[in-house]
Amino acid sequence: MKFRQTSSFVSAMLAAAAGAAPVPPDHAERMTKGLAIFQKEIASLMKDHCVKCHGGEKTKADLDLVTREGLLKGGADGVAVVPFSAAESRVMKMLRHEEEPHMPEKKPRLPDAAIAKFAAWIDLGAPYAEPLIEGRKPARDRSVVTAEDRQWWAFQPLAKVAVPSAQFSVLSAQSKRPSLSTNPIDAFLAVKAAEKKFALAAPADAATLVRRAFLTMHGVPPTPEQIVAFEKDFRANPQSAMSKLADELLASPRYGERWARHWLDVARFAESSGFEHDYDRQGAFHFRDFVIKALNGDMPYDQFVRWQLAGDEFAPGDPLALTATGFLGAGVFPTQITANEVERTRYDAMDDMLSTTSSAFLGLTVGCARCHDHKFDPIPTRDYYRMLSTFTTTTRSVIDLDLDSEKNAPKLREWTAQREPLAADLAKHEKELHGKFDAWIAAGAEMPKGTSWSVLTMSDTKSKAGATFTRLDDGSYLAEGKNGGEDTYTFSAKTTMRSITGLRLDALAHPSMKKGGPGRADNGNFALSKIRVFAKATGGDETEVKLAKAVADFEQDKASLSIASSLDENAKTGWAVDPQVGKDHSAVFTFAQPVDFEGGAVLRVVLDFEVNARHGIGRPRLSVIADAEPRIDGETLPAPVIAAFGALQKKKVLDDKQRVALFDWWKRRDADWRKLDTKLAALAAKKPANMTKVLVCAEGYKPLVMHSQGANFFEETHVLKRGNTEMKDGLATQGFLQVLMPSADALQQWMWKPEQGAQFSGRRRSLANWITDVERGAGTLAARVIVNRVWQHHFGRGLVATPNDFGRTGTLPSNPELLDWLAGELIRGGWKLKPLHRLIMTSTAWQQGSARDAAKEASDPANDTFTRRVPQRLEGEALRDSMLAVGGVLDATMFGPGTKDERSKRRSIYFTIKRSQLIGSMVAFDLPEPLVSQGSRPTTTVAPQALMLMNGPQVREWAEAFATRMEAETGDEARIARAYLIGLGRAPRAQEAESARAFVATQTASYTAEGKPNAAHLALADFAQVVFGLNDFAYAQ
């Protein structure tokens, strides 16, 4: 081999290797010598000692040594070999057993001579003559998305397909029928059917169709009256009858309840956090209600996607949009997080959001690229982290929302009428004050005499008992919500102040508290048992600040309820202020040593309330000072006010921001302003509100705090090698999948920036823009995925049989033309799903009978042609709801909190989904664990299902209710006929009727012999359970 002819190529390749040493001028000669060593000794050594673990049976640490390209690329731990420099090659240290892991792993060290050969070979450029495994080609660089990658069917634009004009072929005399369908679905299926010389199966009868329709769309069987009405319409005009039935079913609120359960599987919805403690999530059920409402209202699917990802960014004033964001927060999350787990856990949480988003909306396993480039699909790890950064500051929060503002509107109008004149008086007085304010500034704007305290703005607030804190204009924090028996407040803040000598705690009154506060106790008192202060430099270690002394403006006594007792170790003593409630109070704590860090300090203040139950401070405010002797009589000033005074002292003109801050402080010194403001605040506390606690997953709200020793989120997301937070590889800036973008510079067209000062970043809205963009983004794939899901639940199997995986490990579409045409119809129809349901239900394909066809089953066992109807077993929810419905005891109450009580008679979608306590009857019938997105459920046949139907106490209760409905008829024959009509939607066949009569007679005789007073009723209840256990009851035929 002559290397001189390829020296420029070799040089370029070597220069591209990470950590490559300078290419020597005689590299061609060296490579020739190195090649001889490789062929003579190195190849055999590597085959014997290296390849098995690095490219053969496995590829440990992502280091593939089979080819030279793999050797130069290195592995998860970086570059292993530096060509032309054995001294810089880490592999040499491992071969010499100077560095772990020792190589060969778990084997004796190689002889010195062999190690010397490796060193010589590397110094000569580490050339290969051929791959170490015959036929192996260099692994492609999966971090690069190629034109070939974009050719995968799912990444292509929708095909512009015309509806075929094919006629149905005839397979046998049994299936002969005229091809009268004008439904495009039938035309597409006919083309595929013709390839196998199949025809669509004969249509089902009217009774079967109406039962199938109700079970599919509502999850409960039709009533006898509904069956009769449909059969009448069907005899007159079958297609008109089906169109009318589809419209009626889609108009019913039962449709949303039935189909929402399908989406909740995809969304891995649950109402608890999972893991060993599995805490309940307050207000999580509102996401379930959102899905039901969205489906019933036929919300356009692209809006359905956008709101679940960024409802707060698209429609911040719409409570329903905020409830939609519960999608992102529905996954598992641990509640006990130690300091060394905080960062990893946060990345896990973001991964759950991204993985679920990509599976649900795109049918892609993006999460597989967290630790390495996707092994099968063109999803590089860097694409994963660019998308992951979308959720950098997204957290779960429980917020108050008015979900029924119309109901509250009359009271709100009355309240507003009372407020408007008060607000006008205050505004008028403020306008008059501006002249006095200007004169005050012109006169020198004298700063308050004495001590000036700087109010802290908190970066984090926590209540152990679950209270929430709302920052008010004066820098105080109003505690609301839960008022625990004992509580601990933790406040964190950063200040640029140097040489801090003291902390001031103001306990302020507020009209929302009992007796005006300042405590949360029924008598307005509080009891601070302990105060602790911690400080650190930014990025440094935290230490506790020793408190030398404490003084207060008032203390309940000089003993156990004094300010001094807040510094002792007795949890049952502390600072209290009874009987001076309804007033503001203050305490000052002097530091033993000043807190002084260059660049400022990060302070953490912990307030314990353990003296009495529910005795927390209702409106605390914290301030710091740098005076030599902190005084309680000093004035508390917000930091912007101190800055404004500083500017005035330097004879500078105030900017608009400083002027506003200073006026806001100055006006509060006016007695008339305070009087007017107090009236307005008192009325504000009485504002009519029908507020509900709702779990959202958004930005800018107080995060739902777990037992964590660290931050709720980090301000930046990094690219991680192997998904390891200890191996950061640069910052990740938001981006999307290259394979679904026309070019890298196309990114900006989807990026959305909110107005300055908004509480959200706009990143989630940007992601939603890309996902729903059908022209240049991922919108066509999103459309394919959702129409496939709809098809799946109508036919039991999707056109793509792997609904959550449209990548290379999924199945190919059985009818790609039909899939693309349906996706196009969805988009052209404004992303509305109800027309798609109607189109499917009115097709001949949907209306086929389910009679067995041996020839089709042999030739097309998976029914990819959809030329026969395969009966579908009802899910656990639909089976239970059907038993309740035929028993006449189904409670139709919609929405609101669910229950874990299996005795509930509400629809099964209203069961509370607690991860550690899933509903037993639902689990028996294949309810999936809500840990990850579930595109489809398995259908099992196991003993617990039969045992539940035979012995379940609720099943027996519903059977007795069903028996009562039978007893409206006279005689066993009429009752049995009624049972078949109510339960199965048809009359009993002769043999069935005869067997049923014999069974009821036998059971009646048995109960009579036992002396049961209601023997006939019990026998009918037994028969009802038999009906519940029939295949015809459990399957949609």
Neighbours of 628 (CB within 10 A): 9
Find the angle CA(96)-CA(100)-CA(106) to the nearest 5 degrees. 80
- Nearest-angstrom CA–CA distance, 60 and 76: 9
Decide if pLDDT at 849 tops 50: yes
In 3D space, the residue among 725, 643, 782, 731 whose CA is nearest the CA of residue 341 turns out to be 725
Cα 612 from chain centre: 39
Across 198-225, average pLDDT: 94
Residue with tokens 């003291």: 502
Identify the pLDDT of residue 454: 87
Beta-carbon count within 10 A of 992 CB: 16
**pLDDT at 12 (0 to 100):** 37
DSSP per residue, 297-341: TT--HHHHHHHHHHHHHH-TT-HHHHHHGGGTT-S---SEE-GGG
This prediction has a pTM of 0.75
Cα dihedral across residues 292, 298, 302, 303: positive or negative: negative
Query: Could you read off the pLDDT of 681-734 as tens digits, one per residue?
Result: 888 878 887 789 999 999 988 888 777 777 888 889 999 988 888 888 899 999
What order do you get walking across the sheet with 585-595 strand by strand? 547-552, 585-595, 500-507, 620-625, 452-455, 635-638
According to DSSP, the residues that pair with 728 across neighbouring strands are: 720
Please tell me whether the peptide bond between 518 and the residue prior to it is cis, using omega within 30 degrees of 0.
Answer: yes
pLDDT at site 173: 32
Model confidence at 450, pLDDT cuts 50, 70, 90, reads low
421, 424, 429, 435 alpha-carbon torsion, rounded to 10°: -160
Calculate helix-pair angle for 253-266, 238-251, nearest 10 degrees.
70
pLDDT confidence bin for 21, thresholds 50/70/90: low
Q: Across 371-375, 517-521, 636-640, which has the greatest mean pLDDT? A: 517-521
Does residue 127 contact residue 28 with C-beta atoms inside 8 Å? no
In 640-727, the DSSP E strands lie at 691-698, 707-708, 718-720
Lowest mean pLDDT among 125-129, 239-243, 272-276, 625-629: 625-629
Bond preceding residue 104 cis, omega within 30 of 0: yes
Query: What is the mean predicted confidence (pLDDT) over 109-133?
Result: 92
CA distances from 479 to 462, 471, 513 (A): 10, 9, 9
For residue 304, give the amino acid letter.
Answer: F
Q: Mean of the pLDDT values across residues 367-381? A: 91
In contact, 526 and 619? CB cutoff 8 Å: no
Q: What's residue 180's pLDDT?
A: 55
Strands 635-638 and 452-455: parallel
Query: Is the confidence at residue 325, as pLDDT, over 60?
Result: yes
Q: What is the pLDDT of residue 18?
A: 40
Estimate the crossing angle of helix 779-795 against helix 816-828, to 10 degrees: 110
What is the Cβ-side half-sphere exposure of residue 692, based on CA atoms within 13 angstroms?
18
The pLDDT tens digits for 328-349 are 999 999 888 888 888 898 999 9
Average pLDDT for 6-10: 36
Closest CA to 507 of 407, 422, 427, 609: 609
Least confident of 166-180, 426-440, 716-730, 912-926: 166-180
Task: Output the pLDDT for position 1.
Answer: 30
Radius of gyration, CA atoms only, the chain: 36
Backbone phi, psi, residue 83, to 5°:
-55, 140
Task: Determine the Cα–Cα distance for residues 963 and 40; give it in Å rounded to an integer.
Answer: 88
Confidence check: pLDDT of 296 > 90: yes
210 within 8 A of 222, measured Cβ to Cβ:
yes
Q: What is the DSSP string of 544-565?
A: EEPEEEEEES--S-SSTTSSGG
Task: Count CB neighbours of 598 within 10 A.
Answer: 8
Q: Residue 53, Cβ neighbours under 10 Å: how many?
A: 18
Confidence of residue 8 (pLDDT cuts 50, 70, 90): very low
Tokens 């040489």 belong to which residue? 499
What's the pLDDT at 176? 41
Task: Specify which residues 400 forms β-bridges with.
Answer: 693
Instruction: Dump pLDDT digits (tens) for 221-258.
Output: 999 999 999 999 999 999 999 999 999 999 999 999 99
Question: Looking at the predicted structure, is the pLDDT value of residue 762 above 80?
Answer: yes
Q: Is the separation of the CB atoms in 952 and 921 below 8 Å?
A: yes
Record the tokens describing residue 15, joined without a space.
Answer: 């220069």
Instruction: Return all residues near 875 (Cβ < 8 A) that are at least 6 apart.
Output: 219, 261, 925, 926, 927, 937
- Residue 791 parent element (H or E): helix 779-795
The pLDDT of 23-50, averaged and rounded, is 89
> Is pLDDT above 60 for 418?
yes
Residue 3 has pLDDT above 50, yes or no: no
Residues 6+ apart with CB under 8 A from 155: 149, 378, 739, 740, 781
**Residue 581 to residue 576: CA distance in whole angstroms:** 10
Q: For tokens 């759950």, what's the residue?
A: 352
> Within 10 A of 203 (CB to CB), how many other CB atoms are there?
16
d(CA 932, CA 545): 45
Give strand pairing partners of 595: 500
pLDDT of residue 757: 77
Given this model, what pLDDT does residue 788 score? 97
Q: pLDDT > 90: what percent of the chain?
A: 65
List the beta bridge partners of residue 468.
480
What DSSP string runs through 868-918? SPPPEEPPHHHHHHHHHHHTT--B---SS--B--TT--B-GGGB---TTS-
DSSP class of residue 502 equals E
**H-only helix segments in 17-67:** 27-37, 43-49
Percent of the chain at pLDDT above 70? Answer: 96
Q: At 474, is the pLDDT very low, low, confident or very high (cuts 50, 70, 90)?
A: confident
Token pair recorded at residue 806? 């449209």
C-alpha 529/C-alpha 507 separation (Å) is 14
* pLDDT value for 468: 87
Are the C-beta atoms of residues 126 and 68 closer than 8 Å to each other? yes
* φ and ψ at residue 256, rounded to 5 degrees: -60, -40
Alpha-carbon 961 to chain mean position? 40
d(CA 432, CA 537): 45
> Three-state SS across 135-203?
CCCCCCCCCCCCCCHHHCHHHCCCCCCCCCCCCCCCCCHHHCCCCCCCCHHHHHHHHHHHHCCCCCCCE
Question: Per-residue pLDDT tens for 659-681?
Answer: 888 888 888 888 898 899 988 88
d(CA 737, CA 888): 51
- The residue written with tokens 């795109």 in the block is 362
CA distance 16 to 8: 12
φ, ψ of residue 235 in degrees (nearest 5):
-65, -35
pLDDT category at 17 given cuts 50, 70, 90 is very low
pLDDT score recorded for residue 169 = 40
Q: How far is CA 72 from CA 15, 66, 437, in A?
A: 10, 11, 73
**Which pLDDT belongs to residue 451?**
65
CA-based diameter of the chain, in Å? 108
| pLDDT computed for residue 631 by the predictor | 85
Q: Is 207 helix (H, G, I), strand (E, B) or coil?
A: helix
Tell me which range, 12-26, 246-260, 715-729, 848-862, is most confidently predicted by mean pLDDT.
246-260
Cis (ω within 30 of 0) for the bond into 511? Answer: no
259 strand-pairing partners: none
Q: List the structure tokens of 538.
A: 């930014």
